[in-house]
Amino acid sequence: VTELRDFARYMPGEKMTLIDANAVVKSAIILVSNMIQKSTDHLSVEYGTNLPPVLGNFQRVEQVVINLIQNACRSLPSHDKGIYVATSYAPESNALIIEVRDEGVGIPEADVQHLGDPFFTTRRAEGGTGLGLWVSFNIVHEHDGTLRFHSKPGEGTRAVLSLPAAEQQGFMQVADSTWEEEI
């Protein structure tokens, strides 16, 4: 358990940089493309435009997106059901949003509240360990974000990852479209 906790925890040596959510999603999709192809014939991706960057660790945020996409793939009962991934910006909360929605089997309401609990899984019979979302929740927390799930059995699941835009974390956009730290 200690090793898993250390794995899920941000290490001070890991570099926090300005990251592009669209690049994170594109990379995650490439890394799980084989699983996507085996799970569905319907993948839809919508990349937001003019998105502000997020201060974070690219690989750690990518790990969350990979986990969400993998879970979506595993939930699909057949190839004719789809997965939808989108990035957007919510100006009212100054947050970058990454949404992964599936047309899968869904999750009972009583189970949704336990998705971030260590060792809780709705897929124990298929070999699920209940650690993927626990690790993801920890990564999101380290990035001052939120991860919320909306699901109904038979109607699929929608996962919404929200991360604060870099401006909210001491960064501002300057005239030449580069990002500089405020002093």
Below-70 pLDDT ranges, the chain: 1-14, 112, 114, 116-131, 167-183
Q: What pLDDT, on a 0 to 100 scale, did the predictor assign at position 129? A: 55
Q: What pLDDT, on a 0 to 100 scale, did the predictor assign at position 108? A: 77
Nearest Cα neighbor of 182 from 173, 174, 172 is: 172
Q: What pLDDT, on a 0 to 100 scale, did the predictor assign at position 116? A: 64
Give the pTM.
Answer: 0.79
Backbone angles phi, psi at 134, to 5 degrees: -60, -45
Amino acid at 115: L
Q: What pLDDT, on a 0 to 100 scale, did the predictor assign at position 120? A: 54
Q: What pLDDT, on a 0 to 100 scale, did the predictor assign at position 110? A: 75
129-154 pLDDT, tens digit per residue, is 556 777 888 899 999 999 998 988 98
